[in-house]
Amino acid sequence: MKISYKWLAEFVDVDIDPRSLAEQLTMVGLAVDGIEEIGGDHIIEIDLTSNRPDCLSHLGVAREAGVIMGKPLREAVPAQIDVKGESVSPAAVDVLDPDLCPRYTARVIRGVKVGPSPDWMVRRLEALGQRSINNVADVTNYVLHELGQPLHAFDFNCLAGRRIIVRRAVAGETLITLDGIERVLNDTMLVIADADRAVALAGIMGGADTEITDATVDVLLESAYFNPASVRRTARILGMNTEASYRFERGIDYDIAARASDRAAALIVETAGGEIVGELLDARAQIEARPPITLRLDRFHHLTGLNVGMARAKEIFNALGMEILPLKDDGAVSVKSPSWRIDLAIEEDLIEEIARLEGYDRLVPTLPGGAGAGSYQDDEAARKTLRRTLIATGFHEAISFSFVNGETDAMLSGNHESGLVLTNPVDETQSQMRTTLLGGLLSAVELNINHGTRNIRLFEIGKCFLDDGARPVEIERLALVMTGARNELGWQGAGERLDFYDLKGTIESVGENLGKNSLEFSPTSDIGYLHPGRAAVISLAGNKIGFAGQLHPRIAAHFKFKQPVFAAELDFGAILQVPGLEPRYRPLPKFPTVVRDLSVLVSDAVSWAEIERSILGLNIGELVGVRLFDVYTGSELPAGKRALALSLRYRAEERTLTEQEIGDCHGRVVSMLAREFAAELR
């Protein structure tokens, strides 16, 4: 909101320069955004918090400035109101819905000559960014900026029956507002009507039919108080926001309607001529009295750490326009807040008033005592380990929006979970809460490839949101995507393309670093988004915790990927739930280990996992390690066969194994392989 430095000076004797004033206003809670010099004046831009509608005018800011500088407001000079002729108003006011309009005043001015406003008024309004319209409309805007009371001027002779009826609109009733738009109203909206029809949207905007024009001779001036919630609701439904609605929504000073009407009437007579006819019609409903507020000084001290005496507290309250009520208690003071300070209701509000006017810079910084040790979430160490493992293997951490494209999400949902949909998304194409992290990560891969980054590894840890009927379920997941070369192409050799086993190895490293040694991968062909021959279900301690594999060509085509992309998604919570193994020391071997290699030809339908499991299943105590070191499939091998080369390590804890013993052990392995898998020794 914009405030003129010179205009302020009409209300209070400002004895500090604009910069210092701005600084001090900021420090009492009226944050000044900037100062602009316009035509010998300074316009101060204030970013007001929503609790201070009382400062949406020069009068309001002058009150604060007066308190800061310790100066009283100048006595308001009563507006010159010369009522001509009879004292009965030629108009009539009927408020049918006082709950939405607790106060409505109207006054008639006859014989005005509508024309341009005087220069001084045009300059002031324009400095505040308000375009000049005509002398009557300008006066209403001028008084709005001066006193904070929104006003409206009707062409009195256009009002059917010369009466004002304040009522709820009839559903379907229409009104063309001043901006030329036809508004369709409903029965929650308050309108100002004449005998026949709605002529204004209460507190928001006037109607075109009764607008002040060059032909206007008689004016009806409205100065009213409308229910804030009602104005807000109507403005929101109609998508309107005006200087008037902005103030009514936040709550104006109930008591200022008549003063503002007087001031505006006098200004109209001054700038447009004419004469005031009849008394001010003032229809007011009883509004709820606001109860007094009591402040205990020791409570003030307990909450701020500051010490303030009773005299100083009362001085501040007086300066703020509060009425101090008699009270027996020496340590407390009871006040009635002024009509314009609708934000003050409880003791803490008074505490803030004293604290801010004493100055927050007087608060003495202290550290609260008695703290125990702080702590991270239980799984924080595991999370850190996981993140560090992944970045060490070349993965960047990604963070994507939680809302995604619903169709893409469904396509990538391994569990076919149903998603939750936003009613008011920012982007209509991204209106579903994600049920998988892969949508975001694959879009990121797409973006990176489009930007020329073809080697990319990303992971994300974040929540997925599932519609579980009653209450949404939030599941934290971990997802990884990788594509491109295993190593960046460099002088040391060409970058080989990474494959499924790079992804698997990454997940295994994560498992190992978290102490979860029992991760298992078993083939699966029913994850819709993964290649049916290159996908695995991942299990931990017997529970399925996720999937990994190469993207299905159909999905890859959807994202226009021309290179294979590998993806995995795991239930993060499930991983963390399984307790990790703590490292335990085992004595180093005292006797030598003997290595025997073995190369066998087996059917490629036999998985490595089966072979390894069978070898270990022999429970040969001396066999301390099995390692696969080559897998060969070549055209010279019989069709449907592959050659596996393994390295078996033998050792005994208490003695050196003899050739005979090693031979026996090895023989058992070889004959088992031949028996179980028809393996041929090569």
- Within residues 375-434, the interface with other proteins by CB under 8 A covers 375-377, 380, 387, 390-403, 420-426, 433
Residue 663 touches other proteins, criterion: CB under 8 A: no
- Rounded to whole angstroms, the Cα distance separating 332 from 309 reads 10
Residue 453 touches other proteins, criterion: CB under 8 A: yes
Site for other proteins in 516-545 (CB under 8 A): none
> Nearer Cβ to other proteins, position 471 or 584?
471
Q: How far is the CB of 7 from other proteins (least distance, A)?
A: 24
What is the size of the binding site for other proteins (CB under 8 A)?
88
> Nearer Cβ to other proteins, position 175 or 464?
464
Q: How far is the CB of 425 from other proteins (least distance, A)?
A: 7
CB neighbours (10 Å) of residue 378? 8
Q: How far is the CB of 567 from other proteins (least distance, A)?
A: 14
> Nearer Cβ to other proteins, position 17 or 86?
17
H/E stretch holding 95: strand 92-95
- Rounded to whole angstroms, the Cα distance separating 247 from 232 reads 10
Position among 77, 311, 373, 639 found at the interface with other proteins (CB under 8 A): 373
- Residue among 419, 429, 441 at smallest CA distance from 529: 441
- Rounded to whole angstroms, the Cα distance separating 148 from 253 reads 8
Q: How far is the CB of 296 from other proteins (least distance, A)?
A: 10
The residue type of 507 is I
| Range in contact with other proteins (rule: CB under 8 A) among 409-417, 448-456, 575-583, 649-657 | 448-456
Residue 229 touches other proteins, criterion: CB under 8 A: yes
> Nearer Cβ to other proteins, position 101 or 108?
101
Q: How far is the CB of 521 from other proteins (least distance, A)?
A: 23
Site for other proteins in 460-499 (CB under 8 A): 462-463, 465, 467, 472, 474, 487-488, 490-492
Q: What is the DSSP letter of 161?
A: G
The answer to whether the beta carbons of residues 158 and 198 sit under 8 Å apart is no
Position among 19, 74, 84, 236 found at the interface with other proteins (CB under 8 A): 236
Collapsing DSSP states into helix, strand and coil, what is residue 204? Answer: coil
Residue 356 touches other proteins, criterion: CB under 8 A: yes
Q: What is the DSSP letter of 634?
A: -
- Rounded to whole angstroms, the Cα distance separating 35 from 22 reads 8
- Rounded to whole angstroms, the Cα distance separating 218 from 400 reads 62
Q: What is the DSSP letter of 456?
A: E
> Nearer Cβ to other proteins, position 42 or 531?
42
Residue 246 touches other proteins, criterion: CB under 8 A: no
> Nearer Cβ to other proteins, position 294 or 402?
402
Position among 372, 579, 583, 638 found at the interface with other proteins (CB under 8 A): 372
Which sign does the torsion angle of CA 119, 124, 130, 134 carry? negative
> Nearer Cβ to other proteins, position 467 or 676?
467
CB neighbours (10 Å) of residue 588? 5
Q: How far is the CB of 157 from other proteins (least distance, A)?
A: 38
| Range in contact with other proteins (rule: CB under 8 A) among 83-91, 321-329, 332-340, 355-363 | 355-363
3-state helix/strand/coil string of 477-500 = EEEEEEECECCCCECCECCCECCH
> Nearer Cβ to other proteins, position 272 or 322?
322
Site for other proteins in 22-61 (CB under 8 A): 26-29, 31, 49-52
Q: How far is the CB of 595 from other proteins (least distance, A)?
A: 28
| Range in contact with other proteins (rule: CB under 8 A) among 256-264, 344-352, 609-617, 619-627 | 344-352
- Rounded to whole angstroms, the Cα distance separating 233 from 539 reads 54
> Nearer Cβ to other proteins, position 50 or 87?
50
The answer to whether the beta carbons of residues 467 and 433 sit under 8 Å apart is no
Residues forming a β-bridge with 466? 473
Q: How far is the CB of 122 from other proteins (least distance, A)?
A: 32
Position among 243, 270, 348, 512 found at the interface with other proteins (CB under 8 A): 348
> Nearer Cβ to other proteins, position 136 or 570?
570
Q: How far is the CB of 154 from other proteins (least distance, A)?
A: 29
Angstrom CA distances, 176 to 155, 180, 226, 230, 468, stand at: 15, 6, 21, 20, 47
Site for other proteins in 199-228 (CB under 8 A): 228
The answer to whether the beta carbons of residues 541 and 459 sit under 8 Å apart is no
Which sign does the torsion angle of CA 54, 57, 61, 63 carry? negative
CB neighbours (10 Å) of residue 575? 26
Site for other proteins in 260-319 (CB under 8 A): 302-306
Half-sphere exposure of 250 (CA within 13 A, CB side): 22
> Nearer Cβ to other proteins, position 345 or 616?
345
- Residue among 295, 300, 310, 317 at smallest CA distance from 363: 300
> Nearer Cβ to other proteins, position 396 or 613?
396
Collapsing DSSP states into helix, strand and coil, what is residue 94? Answer: strand
> Nearer Cβ to other proteins, position 370 or 583?
370
Which sign does the torsion angle of CA 286, 287, 288, 293 carry? negative
Q: How far is the CB of 26 from other proteins (least distance, A)?
A: 6
